[in-house]
Amino acid sequence: MKAWIALTLACVFSAAAHAAPSCVYPTAPGAVPDGNTATKEEMIAAKNDTARYNTEMTSYLDCLKLETDAVTPKDESKLSADEKKKLTDKRNILIQKNNAAVDELQAVVARFNEQLKAYKAKQQKS
């Protein structure tokens, strides 16, 4: 009997987790310090913040992938035209969210790398 309770609870929690994944869009790092004037500590802090953001964005993108998979039917032939359209619309929105998130992530990393390059150039001149 106890095994059935544990199994039932596991199924309920598993179903709840898959029923409505909540993809949380991460907060982008603050402004990257100017590499020409930044201290080593400021650059390390910016690196850590950018790495945190990268990790959180990867989790967000993974969550979007799960949501996309959830709205992708295994056999579309069994769906009505209206159901197909609704699922296609949902998939398209999730794909747009994914693409926008990837674009933002690339922009954030590019800004950091640009300032890191300036910081390293300044260090070599010193």
In this prediction the pTM is 0.77
User: Using CA atoms, how far apart are residues 121 and 44, in angstroms rounded to an integer?
Assistant: 16
Residue 87's nearest CA partner among 101, 102, 103, 70 is: 70
Determine contact, residues 105/54, Cβ cutoff 8 Å. Answer: yes
Structure tokens at 122: 């300044």
Closest CA relative to residue 119, chosen from 32, 35, 47? 35
User: In the chain, where are the structural domains located?
Assistant: 2-125
Q: What are the pLDDT tens digits along the chain (126 aa)?
A: 454 444 444 444 444 444 456 899 999 999 999 999 999 999 999 999 999 999 999 999 999 999 999 998 888 888 899 999 999 999 999 999 999 999 999 999 999 999 999 999 999 987
